[in-house]
Amino acid sequence: MITVNCSLCGQDDYTVRFPATIKDETLQVDAFSCTHSGYGHHAQIVECRQCGHVYTNPCWPADDILGAYTAVEDNTYIEERLGRELTFGKHLQAMEKYTGPANDRTLLDVGAYIGVFVEVATAAGWRACGVEPSAWGAQIAQQRGLQVLHGTLDTPELHGQHFDVITMWDVIEHLADPGAEVAKAFQRLKPGGWLVVHTMDIDSLIARLLGARWPWLMDMHIQYFSQKTLAQLLENNGFQVVWSGTQGRYLRLNYVASRLGGLNRYLGAVATRVIHGLRLGSTAVPVNFGDLFTVYAQRP
């Protein structure tokens, strides 16, 4: 692991907010799967004294992190497809209140994984494509006939292309240099285009109440934005923030039980027995604890 400066202001002036809970600093690929339940397992997390941004420091090198995402496979995500489809359908409806409806316009989903949002957006009339570093995820999407490239915003196939909307659902918290990726998104947008970013809120009420027990403190999360610090990052890169607010998601009850098990084995076991007993495991329910938020920002 290497010592890094603040991703927001570039300063090397911090206080430790959450001491490391890991003993072995070796990067574990499975810890970087989207549905990994390694809650509370993380490197040292610090808070910048200059701007208030919270981030992992020291951190794994950017190339190692990208290598982990390139290699990762996540079959549990496929099992949760129903919840993802419902979630992305809800997100798309909310997004279009700001971006306007599809009208055959272009959309790029960064970190598309297995392409669920690309599929939902395409069905709604968007000329949607995606880019995904996981070779496994991109292949799954391509097998469904979706236009999802294997790679990142630096992928040569994207050179010269410009989009009406770029989305980053649960992506920015995983990036070693989020400012650089936001700058690349700015360049890939048409004038007046929209960037939509969804992530966890380190300053939410539940995050402050739970402290070190907040579930999103995990190996895979490198950046911990608040609505204030994410807005600052976007504005630093030329965007105008139009709206920022909390948004929930849909999860199958089986998945909810498995996540509870990641926090407390006994609680997870009880929840699993109850849900299976009632045969409700495949039922998707809306979940919103107020610690996930979305920002709609526009390129002038």
In the chain, the amino acid numbered 292 is L
Q: Which residue type occupies 129? A: C
Amino acid 269: pLDDT = 73
Residue position matching structure tokens 């498995």: 258
Supply the pLDDT for residue 211. 95
The backbone region for 32, taken as left when phi is positive above 0, alpha when psi lies in -120 to 50, beta otherwise, is alpha
Q: What is the pLDDT along the chain (300 residues), one digit of tens a residue?
A: 999 999 999 999 999 999 999 988 888 888 888 888 788 899 999 999 999 999 999 999 999 999 999 999 998 888 878 889 999 999 999 999 999 999 999 999 999 999 999 999 999 999 999 999 999 999 999 999 999 999 999 999 999 999 999 999 999 999 999 999 999 999 999 999 999 999 999 999 999 999 999 989 999 999 999 999 999 999 999 999 999 999 888 776 766 666 566 566 766 677 677 766 767 667 777 888 899 999 999 999
User: Which domains, ranges and CATH numbers included, belong to the chain?
Assistant: 14-298 (3.40.50.150)
Predicted model pTM: 0.92
Phi, psi of 109 (to 5 degrees): -100, 115
Contact, 213 vs 42, CB < 8 A?
A: no
Please name the amino acid found at residue 215: P
What per-residue string of b and e applies to 108-126 under the rule 16 or more CB within 10 Å gives b?
bbbbbbbbbbbbbbbeeeb
How confident is the model at residue 29, as a pLDDT? 87
